[in-house]
Amino acid sequence: MAVYTEISDEDLARFIRSYDLGSLLSCKGIAEGVENTNYLVHTTKGAFILTIYEKRVDPKDLPFFLGLMEHLSARGVTCPLPVRDAKGRVLNELAGRHAALVTFLEGMWPKRPKVEHCLELGKALARMHVAGEGFALHRPNALGLLGWRPLFDKFSPRAEEILPELKQLISDELSFLEASWPNGLPQGVIHADLFPDNVFFIGDRLSGLIDFYFACDDALAYDIAVSLNAWCFEPNCHFNATKGRALLEGYDGVRKLTETERNVLPILARGAAMRFLLTRSYDWLNTPKDALVARKDPIDYVRRLRFHQSVQSIDNYGFEQVR
Amino acid sequence: MAVYTEISDEDLARFIRSYDLGSLLSCKGIAEGVENTNYLVHTTKGAFILTIYEKRVDPKDLPFFLGLMEHLSARGVTCPLPVRDAKGRVLNELAGRHAALVTFLEGMWPKRPKVEHCLELGKALARMHVAGEGFALHRPNALGLLGWRPLFDKFSPRAEEILPELKQLISDELSFLEASWPNGLPQGVIHADLFPDNVFFIGDRLSGLIDFYFACDDALAYDIAVSLNAWCFEPNCHFNATKGRALLEGYDGVRKLTETERNVLPILARGAAMRFLLTRSYDWLNTPKDALVARKDPIDYVRRLRFHQSVQSIDNYGFEQVR
């Protein structure tokens, strides 16, 4: 939840007038999104999300994120579509910050994802990967393999405040990942943060994907690994192989996994668990306890990492390979 | 801002199905309202506010609040209209708490009210008072004169944490108010909390009133006194007599103030300042610093109170009486 930037009445009215969206009817700060400030705006022409980009987002990346949503939307992926103002711009300014207006996507994210949700998610993720082909802009994954150790160095002296053995655990695992990280996997644009709160459903139908603010170029299968971590563990951190199978089969039905992708999935899953363990640990140690942002417990990702360390092959994720 | 109660997907779906509102499309926690949890809900039949009542609201009062909104709405006051479920009930249950669904009111509250806003507010307040006539239910003002000293007693030993002279100031003022509080004023249903964030505008047009959760029976002119405090002081706590005049003339044009009401308005304004000074002081001392609720500075109401203490007659509020 986050509503950081307050907007004056005049600034908001001027901002909305710069678009061809009719009259402003209402504007509510909504309790979603951690990185940015989001308002649900009604105008006489419909519902929109107004996003004001806070300091954690690098303005240089905004054309990539907004351009990607336009690219995917034009190729049939249901996601928020950036609205162009009267001058044709998608990126604007409001209250001294970068801001954009995108179409409002109906739907609700599943608080407790079921097997059916995982199946639909797998299909949608594969469709997004296919639709991403040919996107002209590029953005390296700042939170990929090369970013992990520098991030760890920022908090390693305090890692034991979270868990006594955490420093050693991360250090050993980083060495393993640096030595074993696979090359030569199919690359493309990945979402990189496709957690349940970024996937909307209306009833059982997947109605769209949101929040492309971690999207980047990377191995497509790494995106699957992120989703396995995000969707297929129960609240007690036990892996649910039925959900894993649904996600993987959903994906594979749309975009066939290569032999190599199947083989390296356990390593990618360890890497994805590491990525969220690192950012959550850093945030845990650096977010003031009285902040308006809920801190997410890093321990959940220690548990996930330990599971992936025990995995022998993709079979353990529930994926039954035809041999 | 407040989103306290989390709802499960199943509970929400079941709740919406109990109304004749079509299919649920989306549900966003909104960052408005301090006392309750509010969600902006879209269904195939329109936009609604789902309110989950938190512990500060006495469930016994809910029929009064919801009934009042129905009463006022039927008499042309634009305010949220409680929706009846398939069994005809306006008050329901969700996530183990009392909950209600009301129509969504388009509009935005003015962050910096202008003179024109005060004029429209005055008119709307008077219309609400007139429309409230004949409402069958009753609710005494728990935060009226008789409630002030008991509330003060709860925090008076710590009042000096806010301001060294605060304890003496409140004590003296309460004695004055208890001795001078007027009787025999025209009574009716008052809003009792008509701050700018409870009054919506679309452009310059007042589009509705919300948040009737402090409404009660009391002197109508006391409601005007609350609004003078809430709308007519600048951020530096100086009274703006142009706004005061607009508010009072707007009101008087719809419902003529009686001679007595005019005479006692300065005392009522002192009482209204006292009411918010007391609740803000109590909340200031009792809200954990890390709570998700912004604490409102009580000092603003010390300054307002001092202004009202200096007021000789309604003229000082900008109201030019025809003598």
Q: What is the pLDDT of residues A266-306, one digit of tens each?
A: 999 999 999 999 999 999 999 876 555 566 889 999 999 99
Q: Chains A and B: how many Cβ contacts under 8 Å?
A: 84
Chain B closest-CA separation from residue A309 CA (Å): 32
Q: Are residues A94 and A126 in the same domain?
A: no
Q: What is the CATH number of the domain that holds B22?
A: 3.30.200.20
Q: Domain range spanning residue B195?
A: 115-317
Q: Are residues B127 and B99 in the same domain?
A: no
**CB within 8 A of B208, min separation 6: which ones?**
B78, B79, B80, B105, B107, B199, B200
Residue B292, pLDDT > 70, answer no
Asked whether the beta carbons of A167 and A175 are under 8 A apart, the reply is no
Evaluate whether residue A61 is within a structural domain. yes
Picking from B6, B23, B107, the nearest residue to A26 by CB comes out as B107
Q: How many CA atoms lie within 13 A of B155 on its CB side?
A: 21
Residue B85, pLDDT > 70, answer yes
What are B's interface residues with A at a Cβ cutoff of 8 A? 1, 3, 6, 8-9, 12, 23-32, 40, 42, 47, 104-108, 110-112, 200, 202-203, 289-290, 292
User: Nearest CA to B12 among A1, A235, A111?
Assistant: A111
> The complex's ipTM?
0.86
Residue among B3, B204, B292, B295 with most chain A CBs within 10 A, to mutate = B292
Q: At B323, is the pLDDT very low, low, confident or very high (cuts 50, 70, 90)?
A: very low
Contact A111 B8 (CB under 8 A): yes
pLDDT one-digit tens code per residue, B160-197:
999 999 999 999 999 999 999 999 999 999 999 999 99
CA-based nearest residue in chain A for residue B8: A111
Instruction: Give chain B's mean pLDDT.
Output: 93
Contact A6 B111 (CB under 8 A): yes
Evaluate whether residue A63 is within a structural domain. yes
Q: Are residues B44 and B166 in the same domain?
A: no
Q: List chain A residues with CB under 8 Å of B24.
A: 108, 202
Q: List chain A residues with CB under 8 Å of B31.
A: 1, 3, 28-31
Residue among A25, A116, A287 with most chain B CBs within 10 A, to mutate = A25
User: Nearest CA to A106 among A6, A12, A36, A202?
Assistant: A202
Q: Are residues A72 and A136 in the same domain?
A: no
Q: Where are the alpha helices (DSSP H) in chain B?
A: 9-17, 62-74, 115-131, 145-155, 166-180, 220-231, 241-254, 259-286, 299-310
Q: Position of tokens 């678009």?
A: A19
Q: List chain A residues with CB under 8 Å of B200.
A: 26
Of the candidate ranges A20-34, A250-264, B254-268, the one whose mean pLDDT is the lowest: A20-34
**CB within 8 A of B114, min separation 6: which ones?**
B243
Q: Identify the domain boundary among B68, B103, B138.
A: B103
Picking from A106, A111, A112, the nearest residue to B42 by CB comes out as A106
Contact B26 A203 (CB under 8 A): no
Evaluate whether residue A21 is within a structural domain. yes
Q: Are residues A120 and A178 in the same domain?
A: yes
Q: At A3, is the pLDDT very low, low, confident or very high (cuts 50, 70, 90)?
A: low
pLDDT one-digit tens code per residue, A82-138:
999 999 999 999 989 999 999 999 999 999 999 999 999 999 999 999 999 999 999
Chain B closest-CA separation from residue A137 CA (Å): 32
Instruction: Give chain A's mean pLDDT.
Output: 93
Distance, in Å, from the CA atom of A146 to the CA atom of A149, rounded to the nearest integer, reads 7
Chain B closest-CA separation from residue A53 CA (Å): 18
Contact B28 A24 (CB under 8 A): no
Residue B1, pLDDT > 50, answer no
Q: Are residues B89 and B180 in the same domain?
A: no
**Can you state the percent helix, strand and coil of chain A, rounding each to 5?**
45, 15, 40
Q: Identify the domain boundary among A68, A103, A138.
A: A103
Amino acid sitting at position B270: R
